Amino acid sequence: MNEEKNIVFDFIGDTADVEVREPVVIGITHGDINGVNYEVIIKSLYDKEILSLITPVIYGSSKVLNYFQKQLHAVDFQYFVMQNTTQLNKKKINIVNIFDQEIKLDIGKSNDFAGSLAVRALEQAVNDLKKGIIKAVVTAPINKSNVQSKDFNFSGHTEYFADRFNTPEQDTLMLMVHDNLRIGLITNHLPLNEVSKSLSKDLIVHKIHVMDDSLMRDFGIVKPRIAVLSLNPHAGENGFLGSEEQDIIEPAIKQCFDKKMLVYGPYAADGFFGSGNYRHFDAVLAMYHDQGLIAFKSIAEGEGINFTAGLPIVRTSPAHGTAYEIAGQNAASHASMQEAIFMACEISQNRDIFLQMNKNPLKLGIAQEITGYTRVDETIDPFAEEAE
């Protein structure tokens, strides 16, 4: 029987380019074995139709996978066990055994052994990414405490992948995505009392460029509209509640806007999200972690994914943690994990399309005219204060 392939029609003008695509090979690292990760991975891959879109490669333990398969009564969940990816079976779910010995599970609890296995899975996936064996990686949640070691001295996946692919951290962007909602962070996993002193005009300008490039390359948006949030309440109230807006954020926005980028703000976060103004933009840039993620998780309602923009490879992750408190109870939703898998596939394909479009300026120009993104939206004031 022939391998499953996707037929893609790319309509440009009066012509259609027809391309047959094989399923995208997506790696999935198992993260913390004592959380909900294996449960949501099995649930996400349970429908066999998914093999028409992707070839999954789980970096983990077949013994742990088998344990959770039995616990979930997933009798129809079939997979191919291999010791390395040279044995890849493109018609099945694959699992690479990163550890051959017996594994003692401690469901719902953190321990250093689980952390070491999480790092081992990441290291093997990185090696296969560099070799081009897998096209993208989806990282199941880790415990940021128990993974710390000489091999992993990072505050999270974002910083880890930036290091492994020789990408300066300022060139990456933690981007939370759900449908048309996209929220990026200027600072990632940073204590709140360090945020202000970490901000600079150059950093904000740089992150705006990373976001703008990702929206075009990874999401197929020709001329993105970006909103930038303020740091202080009421956007600083003309300096009365803080000077960062006047001294740093507004000059950064103006510099980008003067270069014909559709960048607007700074907007006070409460009014911006409370009024639904975020719907007018392709992406939002928040100053710090909780400013962006509280809004994101409230709107996405348990769904959505984390994407690391700016890397030479595609990495996504579900927007939840290890969820020890419900581990082993068959109570975890797989919506976010499945969305992360599909998004990894979609972004990989979007990057391929972007490269093809940029090889043909005529196609790119026609696409701009069709979308209307060559025209600046005069109805948006880039420096308007958000209504209270």
DSSP string, 346-357: HHHHHHHHHHHH
Q: Which fold has domain 6-371?
A: Isopropylmalate Dehydrogenase (3.40.718)
CA distances 181 to 12, 47, 310, Å, are 27, 27, 18
Identify the pLDDT of residue 312: 96
Residue 280 tokens read as 């007018």
Residue 377 tokens read as 């939206």
Residue 75 tokens read as 């009798």
Alpha-carbon distance of 152 to 157, in angstroms, equals 10
pLDDT per residue as tens digits for the range 344-380 = 999 999 998 888 877 766 655 555 554 444 444 444 5
User: Which positions ≥6 away from 103 have C-beta within 8 Å?
Assistant: 33, 61, 63, 64, 117
CA distances 23 to 46, 62, 146, 194, 358, Å, are 16, 23, 35, 44, 24
Alpha-carbon distance of 380 to 265, in angstroms, equals 10
Alpha-carbon distance of 58 to 49, in angstroms, equals 17
Identify the pLDDT of residue 354: 87
CA distances 252 to 125, 184, 272, Å, are 37, 16, 19
Length of the chain as a residue count: 388
β-bridge partners, 3: none
Q: For the beta carbon of residue 261, count every other beta carbon within 10 angstroms.
A: 20
pLDDT per residue as tens digits for the range 248-300 = 999 999 999 999 999 999 999 999 999 999 999 999 999 999 999 999 999 99
The domains of the chain are located at 6-371
Cβ proximity of 136 and 344 under 8 Å: yes
Identify the pLDDT of residue 376: 45
Identify the pLDDT of residue 366: 55
Cis? peptide before 266, omega within 30° of 0:
yes
Q: What is the pLDDT along the chain (388 residues), one digit of tens a residue?
A: 344 444 343 433 333 343 546 899 999 999 999 999 999 999 999 998 999 999 999 999 999 999 999 999 999 999 999 988 888 999 999 999 999 888 999 999 999 999 999 999 999 999 999 999 999 999 999 999 999 998 899 988 989 999 999 999 889 999 999 999 999 999 988 889 999 999 999 999 999 999 999 999 999 998 999 999 999 988 877 888 888 889 999 999 999 999 999 999 999 999 999 999 999 999 999 999 999 999 999 999 888 999 999 999 999 999 999 999 999 999 999 999 999 999 999 999 999 888 887 776 665 555 555 444 444 444 455 445 544 4
CA distances 310 to 39, 46, 166, 214, 303, Å, are 30, 31, 11, 7, 23
Identify the pLDDT of residue 188: 87
Identify the pLDDT of residue 371: 45
Nearest partner of 49 among 96, 18, 93, 82, judged by Cα:
93
Q: Are strands 181-185 and 173-178 parallel, antiparallel or unpaired?
A: antiparallel
- Torsion angle, alpha carbons of 356, 9, 225, 171, to 10: -40
Alpha-carbon distance of 163 to 153, in angstroms, equals 10
